[in-house]
Structures are given as structure tokens and as C-alpha cells.
Amino acid sequence: MRGRTVAVVQARATSSRLPGKVLLPLAGRPLVERVVRRAMAIPGVDHVCVAIPEGSAQARLAEAVRGLDGVSVVEGPEQDVLRRYALAIAATGAETVLRLTADCPMLDPRVAGTVLAMYHGSGAAYASTAFDSGYPLGFDTEVTSAALLLRADAEARDPYEREHATAWIWRRPHRCPAAFLDHRPDRRGWRLVVDAPDDYDLARVVFDTFGARADTFGYADLVALFAERPELLTINAGVRQHPLVA
């Protein structure tokens, strides 16, 4: 048996480049709700938990996610995201954790489900969409065991490894064998994440375009849309992505 799989969505209202972005509307619903709805549609996911920071600055976010049916919420340190995941594991009884971030409202549940299936089928300790190639930025999905995340929480001392919940794992391939889902053609240059105002402008156009299909459009639909309207991808082409630290 594979045990209970929980998708943990990390979210905060105090992002630096676009404060409050997780509450901005996309086709009439908050961005964070769009992410949660897609997380709930991932094949193999049993439950969705939103992990948010503590504090009054997060009050509107806390109210928004607590109003979502079938979703649990945990609160923990803002900068110690790894600890938030440990709290989510304790609160939900997760045995497998699928990590998502609340700034990816266009993620495709089928792609995320493929990463989850790859994790279970490969015997790897950690599975993820490829970091530097393949699917668009914003489809990012990571899967590992609750036990390994709890070990990371117990051992990680580097602030980077605590702020980026899985860094302790992927920095140690000798201890944590990994499997990566790549894709061709390489569309990693498509910014389908919402981290800056231009990113939100693109996301708003995409969601308004799909309208009633806002929760069900997927990767193939986006490929078709951008083939028909390639100018959309120029909206946020100037946004610089923060690099991963090895």
C-alpha cells in the first residue's frame, strides 16, 4: 500500500515582488483557490493542505483558505518553510508529500500526477519536474516521503535549506536518489508562475480566455493558446527568475 498522499501548498500573503499575490483574482476566484482546485484534481492525491505563516499579516489569506471545502490549513514560521511542512505532516497523517507553491495557478494536474506516479514506480527517494528544462516554469511539482521531510527538518541547519523545503534533500543525491521528469520540446522558458506584476498580467489574460474552463485547462490547451497568440508570452518575458542555489 502506498499510504496517504497529501499535496501541501505553501502560501504566504507577504511576498516581496508582488505582495498579496495569492489573493489576487483570476477569473473571479483568488489565485490560491485556483491552485488548490488544481491540487485536488491531481491523480493519486488523497488530501490538500495549505501551509501558511503565522501572524496578523496573513489574516486575509488564512480566512480565504479556511473557507475552502475539504482543505486543511496549518500555520508555522514564515521563513522556516521546512518546519511548516513538518507541521502539515503531523496535522494530516501524510505518508507521501507532494509539494506545490501557491504562485503556480496554471499547473497541470496530469503532469503533477505523472511525477507522483514516477516517484512510486521508480524507487527514488525524491521525484520532481526537471529544474532547468522541460515543462514550463509554474508546473513545478516535487514528491517525497513524509519520513524524509521529517529527517530534513531534524537535520537541516542552513537557512536556505529551511526556507526551501526540499533543498536539504536535492542537495544530497548520494543519500536521497532522485528521479526527474523532463519534457521535449523544452518549454522551461515559459513563465507560468506568478511572482511579479507582469506575471499576473499574463495569468489574468489566460484565465479570462479560458473562462468557464479556468480550473480544467491543461498543458495542451496552453500550447494551443500560445501557438495562436504567441504575443502573450512577451507580457512577462522581462521578469528575471531567482536562480536555484546548488
Phi, psi (deg, nearest 5) at residue 50: -105, 125
Domain ranges (residues) in the chain: 5-234
pLDDT in tens, the chain (246 residues): 468 999 999 999 998 889 999 999 999 999 999 999 999 999 999 999 999 999 999 999 999 999 999 999 999 999 999 999 999 999 999 999 999 999 999 999 999 999 999 999 999 999 999 999 999 999 999 999 999 999 999 999 999 999 999 999 999 999 999 999 999 999 999 999 999 999 999 999 999 999 999 999 999 999 999 999 999 999 999 998 877 655
The answer to whether the bond into 185 is cis (omega within 30° of 0) is yes
- The span from the CA of 242 to the CA of 77, in Å, is 22
Residue 13: how many CB atoms within 10 A of its CB?
22
**Distance of alpha carbon 153 from alpha carbon 133, whole angstroms:** 28
pTM of the model: 0.95
Check: CB of residue 85 under 8 Å from CB of residue 148: no
Q: Which CATH superfamily is domain 5-234 in?
A: Spore Coat Polysaccharide Biosynthesis Protein SpsA; Chain A (3.90.550.10)
